[in-house]
Chains A and B, each alone.
Chain A
Amino acid sequence: MTPLVSFRNVSCRLGGKDVLRGLSLDVEAGETLVLLGRSGSGKTTALKMVNALLLPSAGEVWVEGTPTVAWDAIRLRRRIGYVIQDAGLFPHFTVEQNVGLVPRLEGWPAEKIRARAHALLEQVELPPAQFAARYPRELSGGQRQRVGVARALAADPPILLFDEPFGALDPVTRVELQRQFLALRREIGKTAIFVTHDVREALLVATRIALLHEGRLAVLAAPAEFLRAQGEEVHAFLSCLDTQGMPA
């Protein structure tokens, strides 16, 4: 089977800096690949190359068998759900309008958009009767993020991108949403690429973890193997799990 997303020796120069250096990586259908790394490791850059928000300076990113440079960027993006930190909801749209955005852009009939938006709000546990007509500013951070997830799922895209989606949430809400993410994944089984700098989160949600370091792939492993992997950067991340020696 051909991979759904494939990085082929991808480099990216941004503002005179080599953010990615020869990244090669395949994402198989149905998996949740986590891009783990420090700030500036190139993980978000790699993610933005999948929906052509950025294009490679060298190499190619293939999505569904076509390099991103050959895709019509608009068509490509409507086939890829995108969830970011702080959700990036449109402040002047209601929750329902936010969720129904891509279906509307795709020209669905109004009734179908509405039904879809309400079904998704149910799915992310925001009862539409209570939440559909609200504006993003009337929601908590966790609720906004759930609307962001519903919006990304709206047009049933085959690929989902998550850019530190739970990064701005308090720890309790974060764990809640991580659990919900796992439940949702079991239900819908979509391919996801998930960026985080939190190694716990990576171990929790990933089917495979790609550790990036200074624009290069340091380790690519399933969570169980990742825990046994060797190398300085892996150890740096794994040491975050070690709570011994911390003040009680």
Chain B
Amino acid sequence: MTAALWNEIVELTVEHLVLVVVSMAIAIAVAVPVGVLLTRRAPLQRWVLGFANVMQTVPSLALFGFLIPIPLLGGIGKHTAIVALVLYALLPVLRNTLTGILGVDRVVRESAIAMGMTGRQLLWEVELPLAARTILAGVRVATVTTIGTATIAAVIGGGGLGVFIFRGLASVDTAQILAGAVPAALIALLADGGLGWAEKKLSPA
């Protein structure tokens, strides 16, 4: 392998990581608060989960394509890729936030209220800590999926390791495909292992 190829691998891997990290940060920043809100507004649950579900069922290649003609959100480039990746990552995080918080023992919740906790204290001191493991499990699933899906971002000029894969497919060059696929797989394994470890570290309450 040439030095030029190595350099490109490093460069595109970094680009890929940026796509994943930015997308996940936005997805978490949106899905966790919305999930918390949904635990307080039961009638909205169906609608919001329905939306997130539909987003997940759209084939990823099609979703990237659909976004291109949409003004502001869409177009060609990284930001469109990020919008699509965020839409994909929302559901697992949202659903697990909801499941985690609603899964807090009724007796524990009631005693927190009876001790005179405010709504905010109940959320930050009881519900979120006890739901943390479940929420993190959702983040883990979403992250691993996003690492894979982000390879498709190359189709709409989003960059990342998908550049290798699509170039390799076009030129029937297995080495190029592997140069994209192997680092992507490694990142996914590392993310899965790391987040799995963090999940275990959170006290099994």
Q: List 30 A-B contacts (CB under 8 A).
A: A53-B110, A53-B113, A74-B117, A74-B118, A76-B116, A77-B113, A77-B116, A78-B116, A80-B114, A82-B111, A82-B114, A84-B111, A87-B111, A88-B105, A88-B107, A88-B110, A88-B111, A89-B108, A90-B108, A90-B111, A90-B112, A91-B105, A91-B130, A92-B130, A92-B203, A92-B205, A101-B115, A102-B116, A105-B116, A105-B121
1/0 per residue, CB under 8 A from A, across B108-135: the answer is 1011111111100100001001100000
Give min CB distance, B201 to chain A, whole Å. 13
- Taking the complex as formed, is A32 at the interface, i.e. its CB lies under 8 A from any CB of chain B? no
Give min CB distance, A68 to chain B, whole Å. 13
State the main secondary structure of chain A at its contact with B: mixed
Bound CA span A124–B80, Å: 62
Bound CA span A91–B105, Å: 10
Q: Residues of B contacting A76 with CB < 8 Å? A: 116
Q: Which residue of A lies closest to B107 (CB)?
A: A88
Q: Residues of B contacting A74 with CB < 8 Å? A: 116-118
Q: Which residue of B lies closest to A79 (CB)?
A: B116
Q: Would you call A88 and B116 a contact (CB within 8 A)?
A: no
Query: Given contacts A53-B110, A90-B126, A105-B121, are A78 and B203 in contact (CB under 8 A)?
Result: no
Partner among B107, B116, B126, B130 whose Cβ is within 8 Å of the Cβ of A84 = B107
Give min CB distance, B199 to chain A, whole Å. 15
State the main secondary structure of chain B at its contact with A: helix
In the complex, which residues 128-183 of chain B have their Cβ closer than 8 Å to any Cβ of chain A?
A: 129-130
Bound CA span A190–B114, Å: 18
Give min CB distance, A100 to chain B, whole Å. 11
Q: Residues of B contacting A88 with CB < 8 Å? A: 105, 107-108, 110-111
Q: Would you call B115 and A82 a contact (CB within 8 A)?
A: yes
Q: Which residue of A lies closest to B106 (CB)?
A: A88
Q: Would you call B111 and A102 a contact (CB within 8 A)?
A: no
Query: Given contacts A91-B205, A92-B203, A92-B205, are A51 and B121 in contact (CB under 8 A)?
Result: no
- Taking the complex as formed, is A86 at the interface, i.e. its CB lies under 8 A from any CB of chain B? yes
Q: Would you call A77 and B108 a contact (CB within 8 A)?
A: no
Q: Would you call A77 and B112 a contact (CB within 8 A)?
A: no
1/0 per residue, CB under 8 A from B, across A7-42: the answer is 000000000000000000000000000000000000
Q: Residues of A contacting B126 with CB < 8 Å? A: 90
